[in-house]
Chains A and B, each alone.
Chain A
């Protein structure tokens, strides 16, 4: 049943995806409103799907695919928060495709892979998952904002008349969205890693730093920290910030992909 709701959500996100493809080239108030409503509806279905999953008897919610679904949901939540503050749907250009992709992967099939049952501290595990995914979502948004910053900066630099009527928000607003997401995501990511270590410690008695998952996660965290530091210290924006954000984002994806070959983060025994 949970999967069915998720597929409804996927259909709604699809409208957002179409919007993302056209939004950069054409401005349409009507279209952005439709996309926004579709996305909101999608979130409702998505939420129902997650709640059902959580209430189910099996501990299926910690599967890779459900993790993807959760990440997609958090990303949408961030998107909506930004919309509430800045009244702009433009981050959707980046967020919608990623959310669609994540939801799509999660919705195609029921994945029976279960988390190893030896985790004793279930509370820590829940905290770890929620914190780390919130961090991921914030990082993703910051990455999206830095890309939009580049686009807007390019428009203003090439001095096209269309730059005046472009749908993108002002450069400083994009910058603020990126910076605030970055700042917000950092503590979540840090706490997520700490809780993850606690879970690992309790499961294995030690943390194996040579494990690709752990190594890449720490690497990602370091890049993240450098990003926050350079931004705070010298106000890096534009191209340099985008390069850093891309590095952090790639590190995050690689760390995520490490699930598939790490021994520690294996979901199935």
Chain B
């Protein structure tokens, strides 16, 4: 297990630091490639959300200079960054990945969005070939663990989330949300969720502005709302009482002068900005204006902190699950490591017997002439059945032996018994998986 992980999250680093490390969706594939190209790294994956930026890797020798990668890639000085970084290796890295996927490390413990975000990051990294065997296994397991935590504990059951906190805050400002207008700037999943909550509490209408107008139309249609061209944003934003903004803009899109314009047009009626973008979309200067209430992602975290206690108990239960899963993963990993030695022999054995089977069928066919499809199937099933039965014991013996010291002896015996050659030695993990698949099928039969 040469897993190594480095990153920052909402606890370790303030928003200002996370902003510098944030990687947009479009840049993520390139960044994954850069990561895997870095010396000492075999596989790499990057999770970049508004609350965390993490690099999860599988290394050549168990210690790659991930800090060096961050300094080089983001051109940051070590003194600015290092104090905020956390780094995990091997078992601890596995535990951390499990905790992140199960939403135990989230700002709002138990919120469901993080799993989706991790899955997306995984898909992106996989698509560019940055995730292969080792990280693949880790994350496949992490998703299963997350599911287990969700079903076996109540950690995600209560409705506390950024979205519901946003609703609570909006109610503290406006009293009732009946008849209030919502403006979504930047069509993202989180803003959509927040908007859905607000609409469920009685907000009247919704406006959507997005740089890609088509996406704005799509989202607006889902809410029966109105799509606004991004160029018209500043002219129409004052219609909204609540603005949810989550654009990928590197600079604040709402500045003081915009706030002043809005307030003048609204006769100073208050406006509530829910800024879930990292970097922030609402400038701190604008947030100071009387009548503008802007909450960024960190402020929302503060607001939810009072609810966190309710979930602590369930989270303890979830932590216990994670611990046992980490041990399981480690045990499986080690078992798999040993099985790897016997895999080539099993594959050779299967190939060897399959060749014999095909040869025999061809011989019989020549003698019996054409067979009906039913007869073909019957012959196929019969021969396969015999082969599987014959192979069952040697394969089981090989697998059992793999975990013990006599592995080499047994491998040697089987090879000599069946006259197997060494051509498959060193086969890839792909072969390994195929083999496991075949074995499972065989066991089922």
Of all chain A residues, the one with the shortest Cβ separation from B301 is: A161
Q: Is A67 an interface residue (CB 8 A)?
A: no
Query: In the complex, what residues of B have CB within 8 A of residue A157's CB?
Result: 293
Query: In the complex, what residues of A have CB within 8 A of residue B172's CB?
Result: 152, 156, 163-164, 166, 170-171
A236 and B268 contacting across the interface, CB-CB below 8 Å? yes
Given contacts A171-B270, A234-B268, contact A156 B302 (CB under 8 A): no
Main secondary structure of the interface of B (DSSP, over half): helix
Q: Is A25 an interface residue (CB 8 A)?
A: no
Interface residues on chain A, size class: 20 to 34
Chain A's nearest CB lies how many Å from the CB of B295?
Answer: 7
Please report the total number of B residues contacting A with Cβ < 8 Å: 24
Q: Is A238 an interface residue (CB 8 A)?
A: yes
A237 and B270 contacting across the interface, CB-CB below 8 Å? yes
CA distance A204 to B266 in the complex (A): 49
Binary contact readout A145-182 vs B (1 if CB under 8 angstroms, 0 otherwise): 00000001100110111111110011111000000000
Q: Is A239 an interface residue (CB 8 A)?
A: yes
A159 and B299 contacting across the interface, CB-CB below 8 Å? yes
Query: In the complex, what residues of B have CB within 8 A of residue A161's CB?
Result: 302-306
B293 and A237 contacting across the interface, CB-CB below 8 Å? no
Given contacts A159-B299, A165-B306, A173-B175, contact A235 B169 (CB under 8 A): no
- Contact check: which of A152, A163, A165, A238 meets B291 at CB < 8 Å? A238
CA distance A172 to B270 in the complex (A): 8
Choose among B168, B169, B175, B305 the residue with the greatest number of A CB atoms under 10 Å from its CB.
B175
Query: In the complex, what residues of B have CB within 8 A of residue A170's CB?
Result: 171-176
Query: In the complex, what residues of B have CB within 8 A of residue A164's CB?
Result: 165, 168-169, 172, 303, 306
CA distance A12 to B157 in the complex (A): 46
Q: Is B82 an interface residue (CB 8 A)?
A: no
Given contacts A161-B305, A237-B291, A239-B290, contact A156 B268 (CB under 8 A): no
B residues 240-299 touching A (CB-CB < 8 Å): 266-270, 290-291, 293, 295, 299
CA distance A269 to B165 in the complex (A): 64
Query: In the complex, what residues of B have CB within 8 A of residue A171's CB?
Result: 172-175, 270
Q: Can you identify 21 A-B contacts, CB atoms within 8 angstroms?
A: A152-B172, A153-B290, A156-B172, A157-B293, A159-B299, A161-B303, A161-B305, A163-B169, A164-B165, A164-B168, A164-B169, A164-B303, A170-B172, A170-B174, A170-B175, A171-B175, A171-B270, A234-B267, A237-B269, A237-B290, A238-B290
The interface of chain A, by Cβ under 8 A from chain B, is 152-153, 156-157, 159-166, 169-173, 234-240
The interface of chain B, by Cβ under 8 A from chain A, is 165, 168-169, 171-176, 266-270, 290-291, 293, 295, 299, 302-306
In the complex, the 9 A-B pairs of residues with the closest C-beta atoms, listed nearest first: A235-B267, A170-B175, A235-B268, A173-B175, A238-B290, A159-B299, A161-B306, A171-B173, A172-B175
